[in-house]
């Protein structure tokens, strides 16, 4: 379990503060994560990595010369938000463009892709390489759907090597893609892990059994077996990886024997002893192997093996020096510290926006609605987390609580600045997305932001305008997240709610009545998700476990719209 923490919702922020204090000559904090503390040549491509907290040394521990230029660091087991990624990328940018490189998880893809769109719109060129090394997470024919685990290190290092050679962004991107195509990982797990503040493990493996191929968030593997000896586990891992030898690969490989948290170095050396022999017997030549912790999952007990098949250029990248807080190789010349400036991102909430008096009056009700939503989420966060544990990673309640609290504060600040109804909603959405991170943070930021832009700051919003805004938000969520009704997501509540609200508003009902009726529809739709099989997102690999349990995102959506109904009723004449 996690023993050292204060407020669980502040765990990531406090961890980053302590991490930077421990390595002030290697990393510096910026909004959303860390960047190199040392100067980077002008015009060099910047490699920006990132993901959720809980996997150290991924991701902040791999920032430094010879490795990443910056890392966006999300909340525990949650992707960084779009705002965090943009902030870190701008702080790391040296004029050569940005290469985003991260593990292939739904929330990370959503937020990094949106960050790339924003940066390109601002004139900063970007490319993306998602790491897909985990062979247990999808068959070879669907390799693009695989997860990224300890093989991240091989791809990050190749990308950084190409960037520091002065190659252009397109060439760095191609080289990183080639490195990913030559990287394979396979692991086993003996136990789960407990998140900060949680009273029980996020997931479990039966005593005396091991999960072959389990993911670092508890995603199911290929099968369960009795725990074997180190020799038997080495044979399992080596055989699985050699069966996936990349086309055209030679005989020279880098080898990573990785511990997931509780399996310590002495045990890993015993495992690596067998791995080393088996690979030599297979005719492979091992180049600068690494044994240790490259990608962890708090105190999860388990180990993984990564093979990185190298040509001459990839081998040069692998052998190149590196100097980050958690990974060092060779000798790096003394580096000059960079100026200690922060992120270049702007704070839109500080910009004054004109609003009519009617909209400012309506904004007061909007602020109360956001506060009511935050209260409702705070009261149900633990239950939402338990729902999420059934088929996800258990962090939905924590993330929603963090996002809703940030939205409440941002709405209050916007109200104090004289903002209209639309701007208050937009400010709340931006703050929700930024603080919550993950898929749900991105979606709630999109919902509130879309609704805010539809309502605007010129008129007092009536039922039809609000209904049109909710409908637009539902369409935006489906476009952005790619989920449809029936996929067992938030969409299964949002779409019926929007349709019911539009019907009632079109029939002439006032906003409070229309909203209350639609909220009842939303609650029924959320309950009905218990019968669905997830087809997208983190719960998809646990499809059979989720049947009989409603989707936590659908439930939290219903909880929020129900909490808002009394506030709207109090505003009616």
CA neighbours closer than 13 Å in the CB half-sphere of residue 354: 1
The contacts of residue 402 (CB under 8 Å, 6+ apart) are 9, 75, 435, 436
| CA dist., res. 234 & res. 237, Å (int) | 5
Dig out the tokens for 454 from the structure: 């539809």
Collapse the DSSP code of 413 into the 3-class scheme (helix H, G, I; strand E, B; otherwise coil) and give the result: helix
| CA dist., res. 409 & res. 138, Å (int) | 42
| CA dist., res. 403 & res. 451, Å (int) | 17
- The answer to whether residues 433 and 82 touch, using CB atoms and an 8 Å cutoff, is yes
| DSSP assignment string, 215-236 | -TTS---SEEEE---HHHHHHH
Q: Residue 128 — φ and ψ, nearest 5°?
A: -135, 140
Q: Where are the beta strands (DSSP E) in 260-357?
A: 285-286, 290-292, 302-309, 322-323, 328-329
3-state secondary structure string, 12-35? HHHHHHHHHHHCCCCEEEECCEEE
Determine whether 217 is an active site residue: yes
CA end-to-end span of the chain: 53
Q: Where are the beta strands (DSSP E) in 149-191?
A: 183-189
DSSP letter, residue 243? T
Of 55, 217, 272, 542, which residue is the catalytic one?
217
Longest dimension (CA), the chain: 83
The contacts of residue 375 (CB under 8 Å, 6+ apart) are 563
- Known catalytic residues are 217
């Amino acid at each position: 379990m996690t023993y050292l923490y204060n407020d669980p919702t502040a765990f990531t922020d406090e961890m980053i503060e302590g991490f930077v204090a421990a390595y002030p000559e290697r990393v510096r904090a910026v909004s959303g994560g860390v960047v190199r503390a040392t100067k980077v040549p002008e015009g060099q491509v910047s490699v920006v990595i990132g993901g959720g907290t809980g996997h150290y040394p991924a991701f902040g521990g791999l920032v430094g010369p010879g490795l990443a230029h910056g890392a966006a660091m999300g909340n525990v087991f949650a992707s960084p938000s779009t705002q965090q990624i943009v902030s870190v990328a701008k702080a790391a940018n040296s004029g050569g463009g940005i290469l985003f490189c991260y593990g292939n998880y739904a929330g990370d893809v959503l937020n990094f892709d949106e960050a790339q769109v924003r940066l390109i719109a601002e004139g900063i060129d970007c490319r993306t390489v998602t790491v897909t090394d985990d062979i247990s997470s999808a068959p070879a024919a669907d390799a693009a759907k695989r997860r990224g685990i300890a093989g991240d290190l091989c791809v990050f290092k190749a990308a950084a090597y190409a960037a520091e050679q002065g190659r252009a962004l397109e060439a760095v991107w191609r080289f990183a893609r080639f490195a990913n195509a030559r990287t394979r990982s396979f692991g086993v797990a003996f136990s789960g892990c407990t998140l900060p503040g949680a009273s029980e493990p996020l997931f479990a493996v039966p005593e005396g059994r091991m999960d072959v191929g389990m993911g670092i968030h508890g995603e199911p593997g290929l099968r369960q077996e009795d725990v074997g000896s180190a020799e038997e586990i080495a044979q399992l891992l080596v055989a699985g990886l050699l069966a996936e030898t990349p086309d055209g690969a030679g005989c020279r490989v880098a080898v990573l024997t990785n511990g997931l948290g509780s399996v310590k170095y002495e045990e890993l050396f015993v495992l690596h002893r067998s791995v080393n022999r088996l690979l030599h017997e297979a005719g492979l030549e091992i180049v600068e192997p690494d044994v240790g912790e490259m990608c962890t999952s708090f105190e999860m007990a388990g180990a993984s093996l990564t093979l990185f098949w190298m040509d001459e250029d990839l081998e040069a990248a692998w052998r190149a020096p590196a100097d980050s807080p958690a990974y060092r190789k060779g000798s790096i010349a003394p580096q000059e510290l960079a100026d200690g400036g922060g992120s270049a991102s702007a704070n839109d909430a500080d910009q004054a926006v004109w609003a009519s008096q009617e909209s400012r009056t309506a904004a007061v009700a909007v602020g109360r609605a956001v506060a009511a939503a935050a209260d409702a989420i705070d009261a149900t966060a633990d239950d939402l987390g338990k729902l999420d544990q059934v088929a996800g990673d258990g962090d939905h309640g924590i993330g929603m609580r963090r996002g809703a609290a940030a939205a409440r504060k941002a709405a209050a600040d916007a109200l104090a600045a004289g903002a209209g109804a639309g701007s208050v909603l937009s400010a709340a959405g931006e703050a929700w997305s930024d603080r919550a991170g993950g898929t749900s943070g991105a979606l709630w930021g999109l919902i509130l932001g879309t609704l805010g832009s539809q309502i605007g700051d010129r008129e007092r919003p009536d039922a039809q305008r609000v209904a049109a805004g909710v409908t637009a938000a539902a369409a935006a969520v489906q476009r952005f997240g790619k989920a449809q009704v029936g996929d067992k997501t938030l969409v299964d509540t949002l779409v019926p709610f929007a349709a019911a609200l539009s019907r009632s508003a079109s029939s002439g009902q006032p906003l409070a009545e229309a909203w209350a009726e639609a909220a009842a529809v939303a609650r029924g739709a959320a309950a009905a998700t218990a019968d669905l099989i997830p087809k997208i997102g983190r719960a998809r690999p646990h499809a059979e476990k989720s049947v009989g349990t409603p989707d936590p995102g659908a439930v939290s959506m219903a909880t929020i719209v129900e909490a808002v109904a009394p506030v709207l009723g109090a505003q009616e004449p």
